[in-house]
Amino acid sequence: MRLKKPHWLAIKAVVFFVSLWPLVQLIIDGMNDGLGANPVETLHLTLGRWALRFLCLTLALTPLRRLSSQSWPLRFRRMLGLFTFFYASLHLLVFLWLDIEFSWHYFRQEVADTPYLLLGLATYCLLLPLALTSTVNMQIRLGRYWKTLHKLIYPAAILALLHYFMLVKSDLNQPLIYAAVIFILLVVRIQSKRIA
């Protein structure tokens, strides 16, 4: 796509505001009592699902670039990756603030009693260095190690899936859809590397 810089800035602005819409919708629903009988659970699950959706979108950009032989998908990788971290952070914040009220005692107890929390925390710990090193300056400073570090997105995706599977327990339809999407994206990435 041969567009000038102002056009790309406009497109990125649209993508940015569209990416914020899920949060805006949650705020509107919260103000209008539209979060259901258990608003904290609705917030927690919805934010977690959006983090996983943005993770899938981020993973899709490199295969899309390789399959299309176009470089434009990579223009959105940093933004979508940061939105993954943003929604994951809100997901964690709802748990720490609204679920356990920042209680260290309840935190230790919950982590000990519910293994899926460990998977969620591990996922977040993998996403954190990706967010912190997402700038061009950090990419230059880390050099060839930057790409190696950013491969953490793959174990993060797998841990996020396991976290989701253990969280829902009974109705596995949605986790299976995400698992299929991530599996396809990883296979496409592996195949495109072999072809290249």
Domain boundaries, the chain: 5-195
Q: What is the pTM of this model?
A: 0.92
Q: What is the mean pLDDT of residues 62-71?
A: 82
Helices 104-113 and 115-132, axial angle in degrees (round to 10): 110
Q: Say yes or no to pLDDT of 196 above 50.
A: no
Identity (one letter) of the amino acid at 109?
Q
Q: Say yes or no to pLDDT of 194 above 80.
A: no
CA distance 188 to 15: 24
Q: Three-state DSSP class for 1?
A: coil
Per-residue pLDDT tens digits for 119-148? 999 999 999 999 999 998 999 999 989 989
Do residues 108 and 79 lie in contact, with contact meaning Cβ atoms separated by under 8 Å? no
Tokens at residue 12, please? Answer: 């990125």
Q: Say yes or no to pLDDT of 107 above 90.
A: no
- Which CA distances in Å does 196 have to 96, 137, 148, 151, 190? 45, 28, 19, 18, 10
